[in-house]
């Protein structure tokens, strides 16, 4: 993997965002690999395919690439809110690649969010554009990376260092069982995983998760049995081999367990 974007490929483009889009897409065709299988390259998606930039020729996983000179793991700008919500609910969201590049077109960071880590909780609705805007009334959205558990943010490049592809694929496969959960049920699983991931390498108790009851109530206002749902999702995470039961009411993340 090379970390230099070829800005000469964007000759004739004047907007820096247009240049970035052109050169990053070209870079991806030469350097990106599939994290879901052993394919060492991706192919370009057909023209006018919404939200999809690349497709794995082997396993058919789809990828979207977003790039910026700024870096934020809190939120990133996405397209239309309704389109994104429809994609999440129908389980058709592509794997997301988030790239940061420097002023001299060097890649500093590249993050992968597997498609099955997106939920309603990770999408923020933006205010409609003003009546005087060219696209008056358009409602966009933000992807809230801060709501996604660390297990769902895989580093391909970190502060200019390339992460071994075998390690990235291993991390992807470790969390891939989450994709087996239906899109309608997965949101709860991901929300609980995000909370338990905060405990890092130390064991945690059920009472500590109950401390986030009001948080879950805000995310799932139609559910009145929050504690039962928390216990259920801890069992789901156990079955997915992401959480280990130590003893009654006590757990630890499998990735952190000794």
| CATH number where 233 lies | 1.10.10.10
Same domain? 151 vs 218 = no
Nearest-10 Cα torsion for 190, 147, 115, 219? 50
The token pair at 158 is: 């970190």
Same domain? 168 vs 200 = no
Average of per-residue pLDDT across 96-109: 95
3-state secondary structure of 147: helix
Q: Is 0.85 surpassed by the pTM of this model?
A: yes
The token pair at 67 is: 């790039």
pLDDT at residue 256 is higher than 80: no
The token pair at 12 is: 């004739």
Helix 81-89, helix 183-197: angle, nearest 10: 100
**Inside any domain, residue 232:** yes
> What's the pLDDT band for 8 if we cut at 50, 70, 90?
confident
Average of per-residue pLDDT across 65-92: 91
For 38, the domain range is 7-176
Look at residues 149, 176, 203 and tell me which one is the last residue of a structural domain. 176
Give the C-alpha separation, 228 to 225, whole Å. 6
**Inside any domain, residue 2:** no
Please tell me the total count of domains within the chain. Answer: 2
> What's the pLDDT band for 231 if we cut at 50, 70, 90?
very high
Same domain? 142 vs 200 = no
Residue-level pLDDT at 5? 93
pLDDT at residue 29 is higher than 70: yes
């Amino acid at each position: 993997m090379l970390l230099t974007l070829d800005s000469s490929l964007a000759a004739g483009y004047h907007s820096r965002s247009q240049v970035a889009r052109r050169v990053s897409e070209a870079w991806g065709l030469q350097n990106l690999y599939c994290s879901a299988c052993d394919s060492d390259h991706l192919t370009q998606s057909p023209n006018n395919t919404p939200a999809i930039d690349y497709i794995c020729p082997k396993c058919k996983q789809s990828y979207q690439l977003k790039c910026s000179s700024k870096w934020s793991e809190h939120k990133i700008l996405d397209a239309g809110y309704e389109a994104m919500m429809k994609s999440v609910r129908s389980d058709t969201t592509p794997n997301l690649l988030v790239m940061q590049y420097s002023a001299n077109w060097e890649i500093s960071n590249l993050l992968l969010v597997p498609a099955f880590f997106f939920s309603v909780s990770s999408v923020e609705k933006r205010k409609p554009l003003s009546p005087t805007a060219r696209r008056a009334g358009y409602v966009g959205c933000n992807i809230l990376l801060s709501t996604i558990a660390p297990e769902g943010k895989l580093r391909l490049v970190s502060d200019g260092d390339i992460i071994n592809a075998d390690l990235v694929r291993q991390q992807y496969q470790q969390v891939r069982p989450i994709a087996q959960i239906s899109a309608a049920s997965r949101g709860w699983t991901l929300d609980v995983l995000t909370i338990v991931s905060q405990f890092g390498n130390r064991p945690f108790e059920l009472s500590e998760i109950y401390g986030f009851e009001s948080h879950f109530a805000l995310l799932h206002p139609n559910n009145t049995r929050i504690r039962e749902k928390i216990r259920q999702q801890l069992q789901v995470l156990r079955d997915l081999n992401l959480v280990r039961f130590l003893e009654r009411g006590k757990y630890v993340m499998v990735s952190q367990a000794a």
